[in-house]
C-alpha cells in the first residue's frame, strides 16, 4: 500500500474479483451478471467461473478475465481455490489446472496477472498451507458467499498469521456470487485508487496494494508517520488497529462510553478530556506515552488519531459499523 494512498490524486473505482455465471455453477448468464454489477455501481468485475475462462466483452463495465481453479490439497484434505485474475488463455489454463498449486501460481503470477487464495477458512486451509506456497498477492479476508451460506466468510486469522511472518499479502473482500438478488452479491468489494478507469491502471494499482476492502463502510483517510496514525471513516462503531500478537488497539463506542462514564478510571487513564463542538464530540485520552483522539458525530466514531502507540511489525485498520459491515485497510509494515 502506498503511504499516501488516501491523499494522492486519482479516483476510486469499485470492483468485485470473484463471481460465477451459468458457465459454471452460477444462476445468471454472463450478460446478466455484467448488468447486475454495472447497475449496482461497480466499475470493474472479474468473472471467475470454475476451472475455465468465460470469454466475454462489455461496454458497461471493465472486465478482468479470470477463473477460479481448485488445485492441490491442504493438510486437512481440501483443495486450494485459486483466483487467477487477468488470465485469458483458456487452453494454457487447462494445461496448468491439473499441476501442483505452486506450478499453477507460477503460471498465473506474471507482470499483468495475479493470483489470490480464495476463502482459506471455508477451504480448511491451515497457516502452513499458506506458508508453503508463494506467488499469490493476497487472500480473501472476506467472502460474501461463504459468509451467508455457511458462516465461514472471514479469514482474518489466516491473513494476520501471514502478516506476522512479514509476508506482505493483501486482504480482498469479494462476493463469490452464485445466486445474486443481493443474497450473495454486492456483499464484498474493493475500492481501488487509479489515475483513470482502465484495465491497465486497475491491475497495476491492485498489484501495488493501492486499494482497501469493504462490505459497507468507507475508509476516507489513513496515514502513518513515525508513531502517528490518523484514520477517518464513514460513521462506525469500532476502529480496530490490528498488529502482531498482543500489540494492537481496539477503539469502540462501548469502551468510549465507559471511559466517559468513569472519567477514565476504567482503564486507569492519565488524562481524559471531552470537548463539544456543533453537536459533535471529541475525546482526548492519555495513557503513558500514548495519546488517542477520538471524534464522534451523532454518536458514531468518525475519526481516530493515535500517537506514541507501539505496534509490532505491521498494523492494519479494520472498521465496523452498526450492521456489522466492515472495511479493511491493507497492512502497513513498520
Ligand atoms: Zn471456491
Ligand atoms: Zn467461487
pLDDT for position 180: 86
Residues by chain with Cβ below 5 Å of ion ligand 2: 68, 176
- Ligand nearest the Cα of residue 20 is 2
**183 CA to middle of ligand 1, Å?**
17
**Separation of 106 CA from ligand 1 center, angstroms?**
20
Question: What is the second-level CATH architecture of the domain 11-214?
Answer: Alpha-Beta Barrel (3.20)
The pTM score is 0.96
Judged by its nearest atom, the ligand closest to the C-alpha of residue 144 is 2
3.30.2390, 1.10.4160, 3.30.43, 3.30.160: CATH of 219-333: 3.30.160
Cα–Cα distance measured from residue 27 to residue 148, given in angstroms and rounded to the nearest whole number:
16
What are the structural domain ranges in the chain?
A: 11-214, 219-333
* pLDDT beneath 50, residues of the chain: none
Closest ligand relative to 176 C-alpha: 2
- Measure Cα distances from 186 to 22, 120, 214 in Å: 18, 20, 10
As a residue count, the chain comes to 334
Residues β-bridged to residue 116: 83, 138
| 222-235 confidence digits (pLDDT tens) | 999 888 999 999 99
Residue 50 CA, ligand 2 centroid: distance in Å? 7
> In this predicted structure, what is the pLDDT of residue 273?
94
Which listed ligand is nearest to 25 at the C-alpha?
A: 2
Which pLDDT score is estimated for 182? 84
Q: CB-based contacts of 95: which residues, under 8 Å, 6+ apart?
A: none
Amino acid at each position: 500500500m502506498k503511504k499516501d494512498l488516501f491523499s494522492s490524486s486519482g479516483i476510486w473505482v469499485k470492483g468485485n474479483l470473484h463471481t460465477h455465471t451459468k458457465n459454471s455453477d452460477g444462476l445468471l448468464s454472463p450478460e446478466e451478471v455484467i448488468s447486475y454489477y454495472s447497475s449496482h455501481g461497480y466499475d470493474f468485475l472479474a468473472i471467475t467461473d470454475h476451472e475455465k475462462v468465460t470469454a466475454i466483452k462489455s461496454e458497461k463495465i471493465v472486465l478482468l478475465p479470470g477463473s477460479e481453479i481448485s488445485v492441490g490439497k491442504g493438510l486437512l484434505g481440501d483443495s486450494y481455490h485459486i483466483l487467477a485474475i487477468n488470465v485469458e488463455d483458456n487452453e494454457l489454463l487447462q494445461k496448468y489446472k491439473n499441476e501442483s498449486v505452486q506450478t499453477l501460481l507460477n503460471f498465473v503470477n506474471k507482470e499483468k496477472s495475479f493470483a489470490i487464495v480464495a476463502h482459506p477458512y471455508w477451504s480448511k486451509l491451515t497457516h502452513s498451507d499458506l506458508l508453503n506456497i508463494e506467488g499469490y498477492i493476497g487472500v480473501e479476508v472476506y467472502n460474501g458467499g461463504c459468509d451467508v451460506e455457511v458462516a465461514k466468510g472471514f479469514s482474518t486469522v489466516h491473513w494476520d498469521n501471514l502478516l506476522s511472518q512479514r509476508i506482505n499479502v493483501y486482504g480482498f473482500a469479494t462476493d463469490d456470487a452464485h445466486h445474486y438478488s443481493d443474497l450473495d452479491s454486492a456483499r464484498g468489494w474493493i475500492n481501488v485508487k487509479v489515475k483513470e478507469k482502465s484495465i491497465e491502471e486497475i491491475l497495476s494499482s491492485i498489484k501495488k496494494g493501492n486499494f482497501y476492502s469493504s462490505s459497507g463502510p468507507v475508509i476516507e483517510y489513513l496515514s502513518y508517520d513515525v508513531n502517528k496514525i490518523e484514520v477517518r471513516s464513514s460513521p462506525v462503531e469500532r476502529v480496530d488497529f490490528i498488529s502482531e500478537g498482543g500489540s494492537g488497539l481496539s477503539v469502540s463506542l462501548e469502551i468510549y462510553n465507559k471511559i466517559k462514564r468513569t472519567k477514565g478510571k476504567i482503564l486507569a487513564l492519565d488524562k481524559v478530556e471531552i470537548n463539544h463542538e456543533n453537536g459533535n464530540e471529541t475525546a482526548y485520552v492519555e495513557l503513558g506515552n500514548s495519546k488517542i483522539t477520538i471524534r464522534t458525530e451523532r454518536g458514531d466514531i468518525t475519526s481516530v488519531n493515535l500517537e506514541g502507540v507501539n505496534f509490532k511489525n505491521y498494523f492494519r485498520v479494520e472498521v465496523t459499523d452498526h450492521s456489522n459491515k466492515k472495511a479493511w485497510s491493507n497492512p502497513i509494515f513498520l
